[in-house]
Amino acid sequence: MEAEPQSCIELLSTSVEATLAWAESLGRLLGPGAVIALDGDLGAGKTTFARGLCAGLGVTEPVHSPSYTLMHSYSGRLEVYHFDAWMEGREAAFLDGGGVEWLFGEGVSVIEWARRVEDYMPSERLEIEFLHLKAPAIDDDGHPIGDPIRGIRVRARGQAYLELVTQLTDPKSLPNGLRRAEEADRLPPARSSGSLRESPDSVNRGSDGPLEAPERLI
């Protein structure tokens, strides 16, 4: 089978506001049936990004982590389905039990920990991975000190997403605080999202190296 066209672009964010603004601009561009697969460590910014994306889609309700309830749905310009595959076995059972219809439906689907349920993902999708480049310092009141530096790896799978990514990552249109990563700040290899199902003893917890070799990046 011919592989879907894909591209991977790396960004560097030094501002949470810039990442949010960028997520909003993505939200404004999405059409019915769009699928956004989010990955990255605990606390790397997946839910925050989903919040920005929802704002761009015109969702006015508060957006919270859907870990506990598997999926939240919101109404904006389009219906938004916010999934969380943190507990992959549970999410797989949910998708098997009919949840997958939302994933292939007319709304916009946002899936956190998407690699854990990769088998259920449509072949055309936008993958966004968040990487902490520096351990965030947090003050005693729980607020980050300064702006944490995050890497954002964007991979388009399918022609439609390729065009979207080209438009979104055009250096001229990126908000202040977000820029294309250069050779000098080559991001570390992707972390796997870990697997709870294959390793109930929690040995495989995001430490098993690159999923994609860097030379496949363009």
Amino acid identity for residue 156 in this structure: A
For residues 29 and 203, which CB has a smaller minimum distance to other proteins in the complex? 203
Give min distance, CB of 125 to other proteins, in A. Answer: 24
Q: Is 87 in the site for other proteins (CB under 8 A)?
A: yes
The alpha-helical segments, DSSP class H, found in the chain are 16-29, 46-56, 88-94, 100-103, 159-168
Give min distance, CB of 209 to other proteins, in A. Answer: 9
Counting Cα atoms < 13 Å in the Cβ hemisphere of 78 gives 23
Q: Is 172 in the site for other proteins (CB under 8 A)?
A: no
The count of chain residues that interact with other proteins, using the rule CB under 8 A, is 41
Q: Which stretch binds other proteins (CB under 8 A): 5-13, 114-122, 133-141, 158-166?
A: 133-141
List phi, psi (to 5°) of 116: -70, -20
Q: Which stretch binds other proteins (CB under 8 A): 9-17, 115-123, 152-160, 194-202?
A: 194-202
Q: Is 158 in the site for other proteins (CB under 8 A)?
A: no
Residues 118 and 197: beta-carbon distance below 8 Å: no
Q: Which of 90, 177, 211, 217 binds other proteins (CB under 8 A)?
A: 90
List phi, psi (to 5°) of 176: -55, 135
CB neighbour burial string for 189-200, b if at least 16 within 10 angstroms, e if fewer: ebbbbbbbeeee
Residues 128 and 152: beta-carbon distance below 8 Å: yes
Alpha-carbon distance 84 to 125, whole Å? 16
Q: Is 161 in the site for other proteins (CB under 8 A)?
A: no
Q: Is 146 in the site for other proteins (CB under 8 A)?
A: no
Which positions lie near other proteins, rule CB under 8 A? 41-43, 47-48, 62, 64-65, 67-70, 86-87, 89-90, 93-94, 96-98, 132-136, 138-144, 188, 196, 201-203, 205-207
